[in-house]
A and B are shown apart, each in its own frame.
Chain A
Amino acid sequence: GENVEQHPSTLSVQEGDSAVIKCTYSDSASNYFPWYKQELGKRPQLIIDIRSNVGEKKDQRIAVTLNKTAKHFSLHITETQPEDSAVYFCAASLAYTNAGKSTFGDGTTLTVKP
């Protein structure tokens, strides 16, 4: 089955700096890669996703890049703010039509220091 590795497990940055979280996956058939943000005590919520036919996607301060050949994808957050502090999960799925059946990484705890 699919295996998703996520690094780093913890990340601390100064407000205004950029943050990068990296994930690798093992199943070359995976073609949908969502990122979820989970604030303390809250449920995970999608922040951005990318399909395998796209190399990069941006949404304001966040972006995701995908390298299918190397089987890795990354989340980039620019101009970080304290409210970006949360746990971020990457995931991989065989199809965007079945996003709920995803394999998740172990999460990255991001702390943005004011």
Chain B
Amino acid sequence: DADVTQTPRNRITKTGKRIMLECSQTKGHDRMYWYRQDPGLGLRLIYYSFDVKDINKGEISDGYSVSRQAQAKFSLSLESAIPNQTALYFCATSDPSSGRTEAFFGQGTRLTVV
């Protein structure tokens, strides 16, 4: 089945380290998103991309950067990780031209910054 895959699934890193979270999808969707989930705070949009040449900041982009390497790949980087970036990160895709309106989420990456 076509899916959205995130790597790694879990990661512990130290304060100040650079880390990259990767997302790849086999759905053929143009639109990709990175969300952050904190307990009791729902999902908040970090960055989104409508195609390879399009990158947009979301609600909470400070401290993050992204790279859209191909239609199927969208990576999230923390240039210098800090403890309050400890969270569950979700990549998502959507493609309204497919006739389905919803966002499809990956399995999530649990990041802990110590």
Q: Which residues of A contact B (CB under 8 A)?
A: 1, 6, 9, 32, 34, 42-46, 49, 89, 91, 96-107
Residues 24-68 (chain B) with a chain A CB within 8 angstroms: 31-33, 40-45, 48, 58-59
Interface residue tally for chain B (C-beta within 8 Å): 24
A42-B107, A100-B31, A106-B41 known; 9 new pairs, CB 8 Å cut-off, are A34-B103, A43-B105, A44-B43, A44-B90, A46-B103, A97-B96, A99-B96, A101-B33, A104-B43
Query: For residue B101, which residues in chain A have a CB less than 8 angstroms away from its CB?
Result: 32, 34, 49, 96-97, 99
Contacts of B59 in A (CB 8 A): 1, 103
Cβ of B108: which chain A residues have Cβ within 8 Å of it?
Answer: 43
Q: Shortest distance in angstroms between A99's beta carbon and chain B's nearest beta carbon?
A: 5
A89-B33 in contact (CB<8A): no
CB distance from A109 to the nearest CB of B (A): 9
B56's closest neighbor in chain A, by CB? A101
Is B94 an interface position by the 8 A CB rule?
yes
Please indicate the chain A residues that have their CB under 8 angstroms from the CB of B21 in the complex: none
Q: Are A107 and B33 in contact (CB under 8 A)?
A: no
Residue with the greatest number of chain B CB neighbours at <10 A, chosen from A96, A100, A101: A100
